Amino acid sequence: MTRPDRDFRTLDKDLGRITVAESALFHAVRPILRLGAGILLAVSLIFLTLGVTGQQPGLVAIGGGFIVAGWLGLSIGANDIANSLGPAVGAGAIAVGPGLVLVGLAEIAGATLAGQAVTHRLAEGIVDIAVLSGAGGQIVMLAALIAAAGWITVATAANLPVSTSHSIVGAIAGAGLAAAGAQAMSWGGIAAMALAWMLTPLAAAALAGALLALLRIKVAEAPDRGAAARAWLPPMIGAMVGLFVAFIVTLLPVLSLRLPAALLPGAVAGLATAALMRRRVGRILAEASGDRLGMKRLLRQPLLFAAVMMAFAHGAGDAGNVAGPLLVILTPAHQAPLPVPLLLLAVAGTFMALGGLLFGRQLVGVIGEGITRLNPARAFCITLATAMIVLIASSRGLPVSSTHVAVGGVFGVGFVREMLDRRAERKRADLPVEERRRRQLIRRSHVVTITAAWVVTVPVTALLSGLCCLAMLRLAGI
């Protein structure tokens, strides 16, 4: 018997995943908040000492930069680990401990192999650091790190879903504006990033919705679900693996292959994956009783691979939040373009991986259980779409929020599912006006909360970093 009210609840339950994540986050990363507050206090005391003694500001900037950037990397890893690993843990594809290690390694790999573009953008694409001499550029980036870290600490304690990428972009812009004026700003680069922030959730919504429509129309609603799963799932998963392998091959400096040449190893990996998936689907069908074919069991391994993709994409996109400012701090004699050492990217990725390992276990467990109760097929579509969109944005040097992109995927999946239900002319229960309004407000509340966090973050961090930068420049006598 079909439950008539399920259409009203589906999108609200999926959006509840974000609410559960935000509530669990506060309790899971409370140690990081204390650590962050202590670090910010320590850096403040360092610069107070600088003002009194008149010591070299460059050395202080390097030391303070590493301290704050390290905490920022830990915070990023702890905050976003559930976005990558939660669905796979919830589906039973992997235990939390091995999963944390696996996605941590993927974070480091993504940061090292694919983090250069975003790092360059944050180091040189917001403010022209070349107009600042020596320690001036170092202080600009240190002020940006302190402002972003301070805002993230306060916002996390207040349970606000802020983005690290938005925070660091606003902070760099504010410090650069305070130190060098409007003529030093790259307004075109800032506009490109703002446009990406608006378009990437929409792109994730479209892609996640299309993936769900394919799974549901071709498999879930097929007359013979077993035959449909055997026909559609292997090539779909094989294409996912093949494209990702081809992308990885283009990043390997040893091979230096462009995309057309990289398609060959990608095709080999995709065909091998499709063959393995076909065998797995056949084994599951043989063990299934009657027509009871569970998508959760079919999608366990694909969910795990999507988690690895998501962690790799997260490392590629968010490592620049740590490595970009550090690159300027460590290179006082600015020459464009600044070379990005692989070691710096690896250090940034390691900070994020450690954050997940140290503080992510509790959060992953909570989110994983919540996603399991929803639907592994929807979790797969959202995770895969988010990973692909974040990878595309990162390859173009655009720092985007993986959480905000995932929210777009949640909405895309929910709206496509409702559209398919209407197309099938399924009956809905008549609900009272008050109940319909309450359910509509639940959806609007998520949009308002996330949009407000996006709108507020940039000006707040810009103001904080601008004030911090002016104070430190005055203390350093620059």
- Kindly report, residue by residue over 334-367, the tens digit of the pLDDT: 666 678 889 999 999 999 998 888 877 766 655 5
Contacts of 316 (CB under 8 A, 6+ apart): 110, 111, 113, 114, 115, 118, 390, 391, 394, 395
Q: Is 127 in a helix, a strand, or coil?
A: strand
Rounded Cα–Cα distance for residues 211 and 213 (Å): 5
* CB 268 within 8 Å of CB 227: no
pLDDT at 204: 93
Q: Is 185 in a helix, a strand, or coil?
A: strand
Residue position matching structure tokens 């079909």 = 2
Tokens of 330: 């460590």
- The model's pTM is 0.84
Length of the chain: 478
pLDDT at 389: 95
* Phi and psi torsions of 185, nearest 5°: -90, 145
Contacts of 72 (CB under 8 A, 6+ apart): 145, 148, 149, 152, 164, 321, 322, 351
User: Quick one: CA dihedral 422, 428, 434, 440, positive or negative?
Assistant: negative
pLDDT at 370: 46
* CB 116 within 8 Å of CB 323: no
* CB 355 within 8 Å of CB 378: no
Where in the chain are the domains?
A: 6-476
pLDDT at 371: 42
What does DSSP assign to residue 339? P
- For the chain, how many helices (H) and strands (E)? 17, 0
Residue type, 102: L
Rounded Cα–Cα distance for residues 33 and 27 (Å): 10
pLDDT at 239: 93
Query: How confident is the model over 379-431, as pLDDT tens digits?
Result: 889 889 999 999 999 999 999 988 788 888 888 888 887 787 777 655 455 55
Tokens of 259: 């995309």
Tokens of 55: 């010591």
Query: Which residues of the chain fall below pLDDT 50?
Result: 1-8, 20-22, 24-26, 52, 290, 368-373, 427, 438-442
* CB 328 within 8 Å of CB 58: no
* CB 372 within 8 Å of CB 90: yes
Tokens of 155: 């916002």
* CB 108 within 8 Å of CB 386: no
pLDDT at 36: 59
* Phi and psi torsions of 127, nearest 5°: -130, 140
Give the angle subtended at the CA of 167 by the CAs of 163 and 171, to the nearest 5°: 175
- DSSP letters for 225-242: HHHHHHHHHHHHHHHHHH
* CB 118 within 8 Å of CB 320: yes
Residue closest to 244 by CA, chosen among 316, 319, 196, 312:
312
Tokens of 35: 């650590």
